[in-house]
């Protein structure tokens, strides 16, 4: 078993009285230990110089990292250190591609154009031989039929785009305003922080025994997320000593 657990209040309408499993699918995890020491020196009888008599450990730092290739919304929440929160409606662009009819009327009907203004929509004539291989934007007008080849009419009352006759059969790209109900990271004023984490997993298995590791974690370090076909990310944490635990890292095995 391998997993991250949280004591943060990630369960809706519930106080953090139980530990919740935070679902991730890591491909590997690494636990490290760094030790800082101080030399204790003294002069030994019969020698003229001081020597190291002992070393004293002054600081122990455990680090923990987890590598994830299955990037999903849960992984992104861990990266941001907060849960997804409900946001006000987000206004974005909905992109579409259509073809102007080759015969009159040169119109495209789209019910989502209702109540839009010229500022809410962008229309482009797709690249072809007539445009010299370039995408050409068209001016959106609302006062009447397009007067020239550079215009397209938005007839919001009848939910239509009306094109100039020279655009018959042309490929068109257009985008219009669209309101979405969304959840967000980095927007909500008072998000639920993911800062009370624990790792629990098996670090060694043999025929005779199974070793369990338990680590309390605090986020540490940044991250780098490549965007492409082979995206992966490594999240870094510091292991911390909490409560009555003597160490930030605890190992368990079944008693004989």
pLDDT at position 41 = 93
Q: What is the pLDDT of residue 1?
A: 47
pLDDT attached to residue 68: 85
Q: What pLDDT is recorded for position 19? A: 67
Q: Residue 178: beta bridge partners?
A: 92
Which parts of the chain sit beneath pLDDT 50?
1, 129
* 122-135 per-position pLDDT tens digit: 999 876 645 555 67
Contacts 24+ apart (CB under 8 A), 32-36: 32/62, 32/63, 32/64, 32/65, 33/60, 33/61, 33/62, 33/63, 33/249, 34/60, 34/61, 34/62, 34/63, 35/59, 35/60, 35/61, 36/60, 36/61
pLDDT in tens, 93-152: 899 999 999 999 999 999 999 989 999 999 998 766 455 556 789 999 998 899 998 999
Q: Round to whole Å and give the CA distance between 239 and 249.
A: 7
> Would you state the pLDDT for residue 159?
94
What is the structure's pLDDT at 202?
79
By the 8 A CB rule, do 110 and 188 touch? no
Query: φ, ψ for residue 103 (rounded to 5)?
Result: -130, 155
Alpha-carbon gap, residue 92 to 101, rounded angstroms: 28
* The pLDDT value given to residue 81: 86
pLDDT, residue 228, reads 72
pLDDT at res. 190: 81
């Amino acid at each position: 078993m391998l997993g991250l657990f949280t004591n943060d209040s990630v369960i809706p309408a519930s106080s953090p009285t139980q530990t919740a499993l935070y679902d991730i699918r890591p491909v590997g995890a690494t636990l490290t230990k760094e030790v800082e020491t101080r030399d204790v020196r003294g002069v030994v009888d019969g020698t003229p110089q001081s020597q190291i008599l002992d070393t004293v450990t002054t600081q122990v730092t455990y680090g923990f990292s987890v590598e994830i290739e299955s990037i999903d919304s849960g992984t992104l929440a861990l990266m941001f250190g907060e849960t997804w929160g409900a946001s006000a409606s987000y206004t974005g662009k909905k992109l579409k591609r259509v073809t102007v009819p080759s015969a009159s009327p040169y119109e495209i009907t789209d019910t989502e154009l209702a109540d839009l203004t010229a500022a809410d929509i962008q229309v482009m004539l797709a690249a072809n031989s007539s445009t010299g291989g370039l995408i050409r934007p068209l001016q959106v007008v609302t006062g009447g039929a397009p007067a020239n080849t550079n215009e397209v009419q938005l007839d919001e009352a009848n939910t239509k785009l009306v094109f100039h006759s020279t655009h018959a059969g042309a490929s068109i790209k257009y985008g219009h305003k669209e309101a979405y109900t969304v959840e967000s990271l980095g927007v909500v004023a008072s998000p639920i922080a993911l800062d009370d984490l624990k790792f629990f997993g098996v670090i060694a298995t043999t025929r005779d025994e199974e070793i369990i590791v338990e680590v309390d974690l605090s986020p540490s370090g940044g991250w780098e997320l490549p965007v492409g076909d082979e995206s992966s990310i490594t999240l870094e944490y510091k292991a911390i000593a909490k409560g009555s635990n003597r160490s930030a890292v605890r190992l368990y095995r079944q008693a004989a």
